[in-house]
Chain A
Amino acid sequence: MPLLDIEGLTVEFGTEAAPFVAVDRVDLGIEAGEIVGVVGESGSGKSVTALALMGLIDFPGRVTARRMAFAGRDLLQLSERERRALVGKDIAMIFQDPLASLNPCFTVAFQLMETLRVHGNERERGSSKLRRARALELLQQVEIPDAGARLNAYPHQLSGGMAQRVMIAMAIACNPKLLIADEPSTALDVTVQAQILALLTNLQKDRGMALLLITHDLAVVAETAQRVVVMYAGQQVETGPVPGLFEAPRHPYTQALLAALPEHNLERARLTAIAGMVPGQHNRPSGCLLSPRCAYATPRCRAEQPMLEGDAARRVRCFFPLDASGHPTRGWRPDSVPALG
């Protein structure tokens, strides 16, 4: 049984009559101790998926799912109190902008000890001295230099990398089974990015926790994750193992993302980019959501929405999935028309 088992997760905003589907029937399974990467451009629904998982989608957002189970418990059936007991303890999350994610009015110690006060074991809940000692220990575990002095620091006295380490310390305080890292290194300097990612993967290995790594950086996923989910405009377009998915992408979007990597553009004067933007609420195409930007789009692609097809190991949402050489298959012709009937 997977640690996290989500089927058909949908998050809608806006009115009932004209909903904006931010996350569209996403299936996501994570085994204990596994690293899964979620990649996609801004607006592809990566973060909203994670927030829905944490139960942090507010009214008027609506979260529905066919199944949403964590460690065998149905998240949809839990009361708010039971959900809160899980969130921050067994499922923890860190965010993109660490300095904004720490409360500017409270010290590092207060914010760390607060997590222990809510979720800690009985002894930790009872003794603030013990909580303080644990907070210090956690800061040392995330390799903050001079941890004792940092306990009394306020967030504005920390650098971005240091703040993200504090956030990580807060997240791992109660030994979560699943850590969600939402663009954990995006807001940081390049050198610090590598350190934070190394810290995350080390902690993941040592503690055997599962890691859901949300990023728009394919290189990060290629280095760390065992499986990857590619999202576009709220939908999963391709899922598969690393490195198989990177070696032979089957969805044109994955192919385009890979082609946009600077490493693949060494001889060119300009980086390859995907033209256009992720469609928003008011310009969603009626066919395949990628069709306006897809190099292989046919009349059929513009008229019909493809389904996510394949087995659990490798799934793709495309009428003409790419073959190993990177060309569309299943009799693709530039003017393929909708199948009748």
Chain B
Amino acid sequence: MFTFLLRRVALIVPTFIGVTVLAFALIRLIPGDPVENLSGERGMDPERRLRLLHEFGLDKPLPVQYGEYLGHVLQGDLGTSLTTHEPVLTEFLTLFPATIELAFFAMIFAVGIGLPAGILAALKRNTVADYAVMGVSLTGYSMPIFWWALLLILFFSVQLGWTPVSGRIAVQFDIPTATGFMLIDALRSGDPGAFKSAVSHLILPSIALGTIPLAVIARMTRSSMLEVLREDYVRTARAKGLPHWQVVLVHALRNALIPVITVIGLQVGLLLSGAILTETIFSWPGVGNWLIHGVQSRDYPVVQGGILLIATIVILVNLIVDLLYGVINPRIRHA
């Protein structure tokens, strides 16, 4: 287990370097630079432009820029935003709770519906229930997030007026920020109206973001479950005279969950990239929204730092999932 952990951690190093290279290179491949963006439509005289480029360190050769950037990163310095002049890390940490909150509830939605739906589809294989679950999940998987989110807004917010269109909480509630998680902060404020408002703001974005993971989880659960139900130990469980639900939920599900957990872990990366679209559409003040603004204003430190931080989180989550895999699968734990 210890060597497994070491090997797993050692793999992180090259991944990490790859991410810095990509983040550094991709944002510079986009036409324009931060100074051009600052100058706006009226233009800027060449002398001032050169001075600003020098100030931002953008006049040096690219390899030198990358070297300096990597040096700073290794010292824990992600730089400061070129537009707000705030440290990138501070901005990220302020906004990240909003993204976690969204991703967390999207995941709850995805697992809470995807898992039972997958089990149901496996048990009722080749029936209407199975086809319905698989059909809906294929549709969900194929739906672009931005389009699906707009459909949800049009129907539930505009037509039915059930949920608000955007933001995290209605404007009349002014909640002191303590944890950064709106639901917790609203609860702490003691105003039930504020909590209700925060919940209602969370529903549609969570559904929009959770739909693709839901589809993936449902399909994975179904196929994994079908495989496990054919195993000899399921027959043994039935030969013990256990009630059907115990055979399925104890003996089969525990084994079927092993690949599903892995897939859930992989969805975290998808969730954070999906959050960029979802946050933009729902004006959700999280890191996704922030990154989009960073790209639009060619705010190199924000984009590089943001991508790096998000990648780090995805790497960590996958590491945790690998460890969890050992917990749920005794064959790995004792190997």
Contacts and interface: CB of A to CB of B under 8 A. Distances in A.
A294 B254 CA distance: 49
A114 B329 CA distance: 20
Contact of A101 (B235, B243, B328, B329): B235
Given A156-B330, A157-B334, A104 B233 contact: yes
A101 B233 contact: yes
Contacts of B233: 100-104
Nearest to A81: B243
Given A100-B231, A156-B331, A114 B236 contact: no
Interface centre among B235, B236, B240 (most CB of A within 10 A): B240
Given A105-B255, A106-B254, A84 B243 contact: yes
B239 interface: yes
A88 B232 contact: no
Contact of B240 (A95, A100, A104, A170): A170
A54 B241 CA distance: 9
Most chain B beta-carbon neighbours within 10 Å: one of A95, A105, A118, A119: A105
A89 B242 contact: no
A310 to B, nearest CB: 33
A119 B231 contact: no
B49 interface: no
Contacts of A95: 232, 235-236, 239
A170 B23 CA distance: 58
Interface in B250-307: 251, 254-255
Contacts of B329: 104-105
Contacts of A93: 239
Nearest to A154: B330
Interface string B225-251: 000000111011111111100000001
Contacts of B242: 84, 88, 114, 118
B233, B241, B242: residue with the most chain A Cβ atoms closer than 10 Å: B241
A11 interface: no
A115 to B, nearest CB: 5
Interface residues of B, number: 20
Contact of B239 (A87, A103, A154, A156): A87
Nearest to A107: B330
A157 B231 CA distance: 19
Given A154-B330, A154-B331, A157-B334, A101 B232 contact: yes
Contacts of B238: 56, 87
B238 to A, nearest CB: 6
A101 B251 CA distance: 11
A87 B231 CA distance: 19
Interface in A114-134: 114-115, 118-119
A41 B238 CA distance: 26
Contacts of B231: 100
A85 B236 CA distance: 15
Interface of B: 231-233, 235-243, 251, 254-255, 328-331, 334
8 residue pairs, one from A and one from B, having the closest CB atoms: A88-B241, A100-B232, A88-B240, A103-B233, A87-B241, A84-B241, A154-B330, A105-B254
Interface of A: 54, 56, 84-89, 92-93, 95, 97, 100-106, 114-115, 118-119, 154, 156-157, 167, 170
